[in-house]
């Protein structure tokens, strides 16, 4: 016995009441659950991106006034900007090294080692390695500055001078790239370590026992039991961290300010410096547009490479 | 205890010396564990040492000096103590013995420390907590007002910013995470991919557009504006995290609740949410700590001095007295780090349970 | 009466009082933007005092209006950074009524429409402005009109540590003859680097010459000795000459090689430089300005002129070649009124009051800047306590101002980056000259003329 069709004769078909109710609930749920996130992201993320896109084609300078629409920013990038390629090169070295050495590899190593030692000891060392990420960036940068201080006061130089009996070294001036790779690496390793640790812990115990009974040594267990289970975390971390490294420059800004000269100015910092050191906001917007394109391309490429589509499981049951 | 039966192959049993076997295993295990432990110690020292140094400076430095002798003395006492304790811990299994040796070592180390460096400790570097003009009495006046606001103004501003931002993120991320986890909707894949890709957008270089946007909606130079911006920037990551936690909650619980007559929303609020308590705490801690340390956005979006937060406060104090008084800078830094540290230490076990949405192999 | 009525009564009474008070005390708020500068707290302070003076006059006239000065003192690293922040604040309608700026930014603020044309005001009030030293007006003029009021000026020089020179083996006679040799063109910039390098290599000092760690006016003076003139008056544009830049950077490289300049100078903090120059005496030469006398006197506990001159010698920036002229630079700070202000006249008069001889003298004497009024130069306090200012005045003979071109800030920034590149060893002299030319045409486009 179907219910009487709902009012509103200009509907193509008559929907029974309960279906209408469910549709309404569906829409309300959508608005209620996803609405806030969509609004927040739209206003403070998507809209600024669009504004940034538009800005790149204007001549906005330090007075924040738009004079005209022009392509001169891009023309300048291609013809007159001699720092650009250098910045790209530095970015590449920085991202690849930090990612390869610290954010993924070392994180994996830490996760493996801290789960191999007794529980509380492992937890302690994980806590230590989370400390850089948990402490405020200003404090962390300050500590780095004090550690690599070129005078004898610096912690590093204390060790170099008193233990190794060498003259004090000036890492900040002579090897600034090393300093920022280390500084960002310490921070980057911690997130991966966390994710990998929880993934390792969720591997069922019996797999390990079975492997041992079959005669596998520790290394073999790692290779055949642990690592396959970490495939998704590793892929996700690689994408996530490479994008993060491409885009963030907070620590670099605080520790070396992109210097000395332009030695540690990665591309994102380069755009920031152009915009804020000289008030050339439109040019900075154009530069960040290029960075966005690079980032999106890299993200999509890595996504394909790591077959992340399988990661997104379809949801369970659709009932509102 | 020898046994007659061999394990496999059944030849007349060579008496398997279990004790020797056990000893050998124990030895390999011991060397293996020690090697791992040594590795962990070596890589962790570069992190522990500077923080410890900062704390030492905060409590011992006098104007103009940052002697590291206190640091090395303290290390000379603490490091052997820790090593001895770890050796004891690894070789002895009895809990009581471990505890006893730990306490003895603690007592010895404590007494040594007090004897050697006790008189160098002082709280003078923390005077910024009760004197607003501490920079000016150290050096000359730079302004006609006070150069820095009271540290407590900055502290409470930071607190307000961090707490409200955490609440916003928790609410929005859990709502969104639940929906994505449970419902298929048109564009779900695109949305998730979009979230991941949003990371590619340089939040830092979106500063000028965000600045303009805040100006247009009249939220510039307000803590609310900074709060909303921060929440939006961090949202993609947290949505993924919450989705992961929701994915881990079995569907049966909701289904049984709904067959009992609850609506989806009620099921979410009353049944599912408590299940992801761990996730909520982890996200809350991360979000709080992230907002507590925020520096670049507050620097750009806050114009009046009265809106300072702790990151700006430390930055300007360090900028001003760097080199003259390491002690004050270190003390401010210690004060600033403390809330993050405490929060992290107490909620640590929740943080290690984070997973990425949907990854279950 | 029950509680409610009492409460209502109190609330009503309070509201009446508040509204009466606010009706009585109509405060006009004047917002002031100033950079927190240890070498000039009275720049903003004099404005506050001016407000008080005005209020006293208002009270005496029986008026109920009062003026309230609302200070915002920022922590920017330098005047250039502060100007950028201020431009941003203006752009979002958070600008002040009065602002303190480094004079060379006048052009930028005028072009952006934020600086008020004060010609009229100054012309109509000779009682306030008539005694201001005439050449100083040039520093706040742009396209023929005055947009600010000079707040102070100074002289810049090299400070040589006589004790260290003596350790190097120089006699008192040598030391006393040095300034004369510089002015005559016999002691060149290269000689200075030789001297400083010698001191470092012999271990007498750790740093030869220390200069500022950020962009600033000092370098213009330095470059002028080598023929780098930043402004082309006829074309009314900024300019750079490739050959002159190369000469300049060749000298910088020379000094670096001799260890007279140090690779870390551009990344040291102000504080580290001060510590090295004053308390720890690790530098032979400090390149900055006369207001440092205050710090030096305090650091070494010097009593008076003779004590000071026994310890420190001043010289102008030596010429680049033998027989050339030394150079000097004066860098006034100025007050300006916002063109967007709702209280333009009031703000202007506050500035006028703050520029009077007594407040100005207080700033001049306590921080060793030169007074802006002719009368100020002969005030007893200035003559007595400002002996440094009097002694420095003859050096103004070789002084020039920076041009007020709107893009001079960027110009200075690029020059500084070039110097940093050479000092940190990243650029050769030729590469630095090319870099500067590149960046100038990149950032300034048509506003700069590049000459060979």
Is residue A143 assigned to a domain? Answer: yes
Q: How many domains does chain A have?
A: 1
Is residue A55 assigned to a domain? Answer: no
Question: What CATH number is given to the structural domain containing C338?
Answer: 3.40.190.10
For B209-259, how does the pLDDT look when each residue is reduced to its tens digit (9 = 90+)? 888 788 888 888 888 888 888 888 888 888 888 888 888 888 888 888 888
Cross-chain residue pair B319–C75, CB shorter than 8 Å: yes
Bridge partners of C160, per DSSP, are C285, C313
A172 in reach of chain C (CB within 8 A): yes
Is residue C1 assigned to a domain? Answer: no
For A42-56, how does the pLDDT look when each residue is reduced to its tens digit (9 = 90+)? 888 888 888 888 888
* pLDDT band per the 50, 70, 90 thresholds, residue A311: low
- Furthest-apart CA pair in chain C: how many Å? 97
Domain ranges across chain B: 18-122, 151-351
* pLDDT band per the 50, 70, 90 thresholds, residue B94: confident
Please tell me which chains touch B, using 3 or more CB pairs under 8 Å as the contact test: A, C
* pLDDT band per the 50, 70, 90 thresholds, residue A319: low
Query: Residue B188: helix, strand or coil by DSSP?
Result: helix
pLDDT of residue A22: 81
Measured CB to CB, residues of chain C less than 8 Å from chain A are: 84, 87-88, 90-92, 108, 112-113, 263-264, 266-267, 410, 413, 417, 420-421, 424, 426-427, 435, 438, 441-443
User: Given B201, B231, B352, which is nearest A126 (Cβ)?
Assistant: B352
- Tokens for C319, please give them: 């010429």
Question: What CATH number is given to the structural domain containing A149?
Answer: 1.10.3720.10
Is residue C19 assigned to a domain? Answer: no
List strands edge to edge, sheet with C149-152: C66-74, C27-35, C98-102, C333-337, C149-152
pLDDT of residue C248: 94
Mark whether C298 and C433 lie in a shared domain: yes
Alpha carbons A299 and A297: distance in angstroms, whole number: 5
Please tell me which chains touch A, using 3 or more CB pairs under 8 Å as the contact test: B, C
Q: How many domains does chain C have?
A: 2
For C180-220, how does the pLDDT look when each residue is reduced to its tens digit (9 = 90+)? 999 999 999 999 999 999 999 999 999 999 999 988 889 99
**Closest CA of chain C from B352, distance in Å:** 40
A59 in reach of chain C (CB within 8 A): no
Is residue A90 assigned to a domain? Answer: yes
Contacts of B207 in chain C (CB under 8 A): none
- Tokens for C336, please give them: 């300006």
Alpha-carbon distance values, B130 to B61, B146, C82 (Å) = 18, 14, 30
Specify the pairing of strand C156-161 against strand C328-329.
unpaired
Cross-chain residue pair B143–C73, CB shorter than 8 Å: yes
pLDDT of residue B14: 61
**CA-CA-CA-CA torsion sign (A11, A16, A17, A18):** negative
Query: Residue C285: helix, strand or coil by DSSP?
Result: strand
Quick one: closest CA in B to C46, which residue?
A: B144
Whats the size of chain B, residue-wise?
361
pLDDT of residue C342: 94
Block residue for tokens 């400090």 = C286
Is residue A27 assigned to a domain? Answer: no
Block residue for tokens 């690849």 = A96
Block residue for tokens 């830092």 = B204
Quick one: closest CA in B to C41, which residue?
A: B143
For A80-119, how does the pLDDT look when each residue is reduced to its tens digit (9 = 90+)? 788 888 899 999 999 999 999 988 899 999 999 988 888 8
Cross-chain residue pair C275–B323, CB shorter than 8 Å: yes
Mark whether C324 and C243 lie in a shared domain: yes
Cross-chain residue pair B322–C272, CB shorter than 8 Å: yes
Range name among A4-18, B34-48, C40-54 with the lowest pLDDT average: A4-18
pLDDT of residue A182: 93
Is residue B268 reached through a cis peptide bond, with omega within 30 degrees of 0 on the bond before it? Answer: no
Highest mean pLDDT among A20-34, C11-25, C396-410: C396-410
Mark whether C308 and C386 lie in a shared domain: no
Range name among B333-337, C275-279, C287-291 with the lowest pLDDT average: C275-279
Range name among A217-226, A279-288, B323-332, C117-126 with the lowest pLDDT average: B323-332
B316/C432: higher pLDDT: C432
Mark whether C113 and C257 lie in a shared domain: no
Q: Tell me the residue range of the domain where A122 lies.
A: 83-309
Bridge partners of C334, per DSSP, are C101, C150
**Closest CA of chain A from B114, distance in Å:** 23
Interface pTM, i.e. ipTM = 0.82
User: Given A47, A199, A314, which is nearest B213 (Cβ)?
Assistant: A47
* pLDDT band per the 50, 70, 90 thresholds, residue C318: very high
Helix, strand and coil content of chain C, in percent to the nearest 5, comes to 55, 20, 30
Neighbours of A15 (CB within 10 A): 16
Q: Tell me the residue range of the domain where C196 lies.
A: 156-330+404-451
Cross-chain residue pair B205–A52, CB shorter than 8 Å: yes
Is residue C227 assigned to a domain? Answer: yes
Please tell me which chains touch C, using 3 or more CB pairs under 8 Å as the contact test: A, B
Is residue C210 assigned to a domain? Answer: yes
Is residue A135 assigned to a domain? Answer: yes
Contacts of C265 in chain A (CB under 8 A): none
Is residue C180 assigned to a domain? Answer: yes
Query: Residue C56: helix, strand or coil by DSSP?
Result: helix
pLDDT at residue A11 tops 60: no
Query: Residue B196: helix, strand or coil by DSSP?
Result: helix
- 3-state per-residue secondary structure call for chain A: CCCCCCCCCCCCCCCCHHHHHHHHHHHHHHHHHHHHHHHHHHHHHHHHHHHHHHHCCECCCCCCCCCCECCHHHHHHHHHCCCHHHHHHHHHHHHHHHHHHHHHHHHHHHHHHHHHCCHHHHHHHHHHHHHHHHCCHHHHHHHHHHHCCCCCCCHHHHHHHHCCCCCCCCHHHHCHHHHHHHHHHHHHHHHHHHHHHHHHHCCCHHHHHHHHHCCCCHHHHHHHHHHHHCHHHHHHHHHHHHHHHHHCCHHHHHHCCCCCCCCCCCHHHHHHHHHHHCCCHHHHHHHHHHHHHHHHHHHHHHHHHCCHHHHCCCCCCCCC
B72: left (phi over 0), alpha (psi -120 to 50) or beta: alpha
Is residue C242 assigned to a domain? Answer: yes
User: Given B205, B314, B318, which is nearest A284 (Cβ)?
Assistant: B205
Mark whether C105 and C207 lie in a shared domain: no
- Residues B80-107 as b/e (b if ≥16 CB within 10 A, e otherwise) read ebeebbeebbbeeeeeeebeebeeebee
For A167-188, how does the pLDDT look when each residue is reduced to its tens digit (9 = 90+)? 888 888 889 999 999 999 999 9
Q: What is the pTM of this model?
A: 0.84
Alpha carbons B155 and B128: distance in angstroms, whole number: 12
Mark whether C414 and C388 lie in a shared domain: no
For C391-420, how does the pLDDT look when each residue is reduced to its tens digit (9 = 90+)? 888 888 888 889 999 889 889 989 999 999
For B166-192, how does the pLDDT look when each residue is reduced to its tens digit (9 = 90+)? 999 999 999 998 888 888 788 888 888
% of chain A residues with pLDDT over 70: 92
Homologous superfamily of the B151-351 domain (CATH) = MetI-like (1.10.3720.10)
């Amino acid at each position: 016995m179907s219910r009487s069709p709902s009012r509103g004769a200009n509907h193509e078909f008559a929907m029974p009441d309960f279906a209408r109710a469910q549709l309404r609930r569906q829409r309300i749920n959508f608005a209620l659950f996803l609405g806030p996130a969509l609004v927040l992201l739209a206003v403070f993320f998507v809209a600024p991106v669009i504004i940034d896109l538009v800005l790149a084609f204007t001549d906005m300078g330090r007075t924040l006034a738009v004079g005209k629409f022009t392509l001169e920013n891009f023309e300048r990038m291609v013809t007159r900007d001699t720092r650009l390629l250098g910045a790209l090169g530095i970015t590449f070295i920085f991202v690849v090294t930090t990612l390869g050495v610290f954010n993924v590899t070392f994180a994996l190593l830490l996760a493996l080692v801290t789960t191999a030692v007794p529980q509380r000891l492992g937890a302690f060392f994980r806590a230590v390695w989370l400390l850089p990420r948990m402490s405020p960036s200003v404090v962390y940068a300050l500590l780095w500055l004090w550690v690599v201080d070129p005078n004898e006061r610096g912690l590093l130089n204390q060790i170099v001078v008193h233990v190794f009996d060498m003259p004090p070294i000036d890492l900040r001036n002579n090897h600034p790239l090393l300093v920022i790779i280390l500084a960002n690496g310490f921070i980057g390793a911690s997130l991966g370590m966390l994710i990998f640790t929880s993934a390792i812990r969720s591997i069922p115990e019996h797999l390990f026992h079975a492997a041992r009974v079959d005669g596998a040594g520790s290394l073999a267990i790692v290779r055949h039991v642990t690592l396959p289970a970490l495939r998704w975390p590793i892929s996700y971390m690689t994408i996530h961290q490479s994008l993060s490294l491409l885009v963030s420059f907070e620590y670099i800004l605080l520790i070396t300010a992109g210097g000395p000269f332009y030695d540690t100015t990665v591309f994102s910092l380069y755009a920031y410096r152009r915009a804020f050191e000289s008030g050339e906001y439109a040019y900075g917007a154009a530069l960040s547009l290029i960075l966005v394109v690079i980032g999106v391309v890299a993200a999509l490429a890595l996504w394909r490479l790591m077959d992340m589509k399988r990661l997104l499981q379809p949801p369970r049951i659709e009932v509102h | 205890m020898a046994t007659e039966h061999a394990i496999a192959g059944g030849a007349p049993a060579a008496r398997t010396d279990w004790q020797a076997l056990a000893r050998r295993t124990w030895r390999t295990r011991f060397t293996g564990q020690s090697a791992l432990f040594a590795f962990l110690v070596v890589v962790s020292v570069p992190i522990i040492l500077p923080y410890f140094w900062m704390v030492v400076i905060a409590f011992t430095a006098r104007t103009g000096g940052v002697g590291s002798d206190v640091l090395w003395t303290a290390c000379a006492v603490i490091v052997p103590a820790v090593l001895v304790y770890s050796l004891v811990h690894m070789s002895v299994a009895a809990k009581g013995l471990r505890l006893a040796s730990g306490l003895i070592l603690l007592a010895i180390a404590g007494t040594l420390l007090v004897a050697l460096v006790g008189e160098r400790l002082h709280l003078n570097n923390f005077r910024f907590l009760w004197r607003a003009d501490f920079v000016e009495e150290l050096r000359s006046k730079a302004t006609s007002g006070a150069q820095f606001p009271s540290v407590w103004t900055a502290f409470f501003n930071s607190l307000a910013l961090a707490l409200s931002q955490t609440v916003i993120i928790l609410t929005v991320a859990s709502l969104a995470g639940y929906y994505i986890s449970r419902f298929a909707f048109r564009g779900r894949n695109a949305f998730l991919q979009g979230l991941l890709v949003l990371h590619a957008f340089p939040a830092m270089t979106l500063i000028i557009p965000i600045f303009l946007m805040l100006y247009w909606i009249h939220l510039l130079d307000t803590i609310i504006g900074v709060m909303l911006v921060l929440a939006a920037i961090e949202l993609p990551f947290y949505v993924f995290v919450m989705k992961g936690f929701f994915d881990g909650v079995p569907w049966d619980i909701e289904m049984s609740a709904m067959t009992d007559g609850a609506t989806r929303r009620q099921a979410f609020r009353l049944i599912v949410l408590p299940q992801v308590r761990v996730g909520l705490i982890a996200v809350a801690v991360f979000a709080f700590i992230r907002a507590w340390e925020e520096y670049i956005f507050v620097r750009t979006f806050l114009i009046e001095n009265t809106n300072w937060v702790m990151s700006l406060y430390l930055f300007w104090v360090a900028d001003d007295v760097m080199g003259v008084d390491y002690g004050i800078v270190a003390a401010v830094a210690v004060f600033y780090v403390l809330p993050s540290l405490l929060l992290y230490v107490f909620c640590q076990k929740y943080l290690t349970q984070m997973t990425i949405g949907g990854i279950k192999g | 009466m029950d509680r409610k009525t009492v409460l209502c009564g109190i609330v009503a009474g309070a509201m009446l009082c508040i509204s009466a008070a606010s009706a009585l005390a109509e405060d006009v708020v004047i917002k002031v933007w100033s950079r927190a500068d240890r070498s000039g707290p009275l720049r903003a302070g004099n404005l506050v005092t001016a407000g008080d003076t005005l209020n006293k006059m208002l009270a005496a006239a029986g008026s109920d209006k009062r003026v309230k000065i609302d200070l915002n003192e920022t922590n920017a690293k330098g005047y250039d950074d502060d100007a950028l922040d201020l431009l941003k604040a203006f752009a979002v309608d958070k600008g002040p009524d009065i602002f303190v700026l480094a004079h060379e930014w006048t052009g930028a603020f005028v072009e952006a429409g934020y600086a008020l044309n004060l010609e009229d005001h100054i012309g109509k009030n000779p009682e306030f402005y008539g005694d201001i030293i005439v050449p100083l007006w040039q520093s706040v003029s742009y396209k023929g009109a005055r947009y600010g009021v000079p707040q102070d000026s100074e002289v810049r020089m090299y400070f040589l540590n006589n004790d260290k020179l003596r350790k190097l083996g120089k006699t008192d006679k040598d030391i006393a003859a040095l300034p004369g040799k510089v002015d005559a063109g016999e002691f060149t910039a290269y000689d200075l680097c030789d001297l400083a390098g010698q001191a470092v290599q012999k271990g007498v000092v750790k740093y030869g010459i220390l200069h500022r760690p950020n962009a600033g006016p000092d370098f213009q003076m330095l470059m002028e000795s080598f023929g780098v003139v930043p402004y082309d008056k006829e074309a009314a544009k900024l300019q750079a000459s490739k050959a002159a830049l190369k000469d300049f950077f060749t000298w910088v490289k020379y000094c670096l090689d001799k260890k007279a300049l140090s690779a870390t100078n551009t990344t040291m903090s102000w504080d580290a430089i001060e510590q090295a120059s004053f308390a720890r005496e690790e530098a032979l030469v400090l390149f900055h300005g006369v207001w440092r006398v205050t710090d030096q006197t305090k650091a070494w506990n010097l009593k008076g002129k003779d004590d000071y001159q026994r310890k420190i010698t001043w010289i102008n920036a030596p010429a680049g070649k033998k027989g050339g002229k030394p150079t000097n630079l004066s860098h006034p700070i100025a007050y300006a009124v916002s063109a967007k202000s709702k209280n333009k006249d009031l703000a202007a008069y506050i500035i006028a009051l703050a520029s009077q001889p007594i407040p100005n003298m207080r700033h001049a004497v306590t921080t060793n800047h030169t007074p802006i009024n002719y009368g100020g130069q002969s005030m007893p306090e200035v003559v007595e306590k400002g002996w440094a200012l009097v002694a420095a005045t003859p050096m103004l003979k070789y002084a020039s101002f920076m041009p007020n071109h709107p893009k001079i800030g960027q110009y200075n920034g690029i020059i500084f980056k070039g110097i940093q590149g050479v000092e940190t060893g990243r650029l050769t002299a030729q590469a630095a000259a090319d870099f500067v030319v590149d960046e100038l045409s990149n950032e300034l486009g048509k506003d700069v003329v590049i000459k060979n």
